[in-house]
């Protein structure tokens, strides 16, 4: 065999050797979920199979966030066996695109770690902007406006707003578009400091009503 041929075979073998040892094969290492407005969790199933020639032990499965729990039925994966890691993301007050990672550590020396990614685009039932308004005591009292927009897929027809402080009042009016409202917030008393929690309740979902919050305050002027 010519030296050049020998060299090529050696180089190619070195390149492929590392891949040949990878045994715990995942169908997908990244899953993107689209939870609905009423979902409480987003659940991803990462399926795997031991495609190698020796059993594998999964040492640990760690998540990047306390909000995500990853479980598996067995830590031992015999040759040819399949299984899955179930990752559950608690939605709670999360909104928008979430990226959580799950680190799977095994005793496979060729591939000791695999990073799994759970993506979830969590829709918002109500978009409230801003969620905080305030007046300084030394400024003229002008109403502050909070705009509330309901998700296009949600059958929200109206919202109800309650202020926790009687000195801070709210008035709800239709907004500039469909499923949009304008909350005018006024402070009746600017002489004292006030802080009100505004509870904003949409008429959907009816079975498990949701309440959103904004805050309105009368604060001391700077330096006081």
Partner 1 sequence: MGGFSLRQALLLALIAFVPAIGEAFYFRNQIPWNSPVPASELVKVETAKEWGAQALWIDARPDDQFARGHYANALSLNEDHWDTQLTNVLTAWSEEKKIVVYCSTQSCSTSRQIAERLRKQANLKNVFVLEGGWEALQASEKK
| Binding residues for partner 1 (CB under 8 A) | 4, 7-8, 11-12, 15-16, 19, 29-30, 64-67, 90, 92-94, 99, 115, 117, 128-132, 136, 195, 197, 211-213, 215, 217, 219-220, 222-223
- CB nearer partner 1, residue 141 or residue 211: 211
In what side-by-side order are the strands of the sheet with 96-106?
A: 30-33, 113-122, 96-106, 56-63, 76-77
Nearest approach, Cβ of residue 171 and partner 1 (Å) = 21
- CB nearer partner 1, residue 50 or residue 68: 68
Q: How far apart are CA 96 and CA 124, in angstroms?
A: 7
Q: How far apart are CA 123 and CA 94, in angstroms?
A: 9
Nearest approach, Cβ of residue 119 and partner 1 (Å) = 9
Beta pairing class for 126-129 and 144-150:
antiparallel
Nearest approach, Cβ of residue 74 and partner 1 (Å) = 26
- CB nearer partner 1, residue 43 or residue 55: 43
- CB nearer partner 1, residue 75 or residue 164: 164
The answer to whether 200 and 161 have CB atoms below 8 angstroms apart is yes
Nearest approach, Cβ of residue 33 and partner 1 (Å) = 15
In what side-by-side order are the strands of the sheet with 194-202?
A: 132-136, 212-219, 194-202, 159-163
Altogether, the residues listed in the chain come to a count of 224
Closest by alpha carbon to 217, among 183, 182, 193, 189? 193
Nearest approach, Cβ of residue 195 and partner 1 (Å) = 5
Nearest approach, Cβ of residue 197 and partner 1 (Å) = 5
Q: How far apart are CA 138 and CA 223, in angstroms?
A: 12
- CB nearer partner 1, residue 66 or residue 177: 66
- CB nearer partner 1, residue 55 or residue 125: 125
Q: How far apart are CA 47 and CA 77, in angstroms?
A: 12
């Amino acid at each position: 065999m010519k030296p050049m041929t020998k060299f090529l075979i050696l180089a190619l073998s070195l390149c492929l050797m590392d891949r040949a040892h990878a045994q715990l094969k995942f169908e997908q290492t990244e899953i993107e979920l689209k939870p609905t407005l009423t979902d409480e969790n987003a659940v991803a199933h990462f399926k795997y199979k031991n495609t190698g020639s020796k059993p594998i032990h999964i040492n640990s499965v760690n998540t990047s966030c306390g909000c995500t729990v990853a479980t598996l039925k067995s830590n031992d994966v015999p040759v040819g066996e399949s299984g899955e890691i179930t990752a559950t993301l608690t939605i709670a007050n999360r909104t928008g695109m979430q990226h959580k990672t799950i680190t799977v550590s095994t005793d496979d020396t060729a591939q000791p770690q695999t990073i799994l990614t759970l993506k979830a685009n969590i829709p918002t039932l109500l978009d409230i902007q801003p969620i905080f308004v305030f007046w300084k005591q030394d400024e003229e009292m002008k109403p502050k406006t909070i705009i509330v927009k309901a998700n296009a897929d949600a059958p929200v027809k109206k919202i109800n707003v309650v202020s926790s402080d009687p000195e801070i009042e709210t008035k709800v009016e239709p907004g500039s578009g469909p499923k949009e409202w304008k909350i005018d917030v006024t402070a009746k008393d600017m002489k004292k400091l006030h802080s009100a929690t505004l509870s904003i309740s949409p008429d959907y979902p009816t079975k498990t009503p949701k309440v959103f919050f904004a805050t309105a305050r009368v604060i001391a002027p700077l330096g006081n």
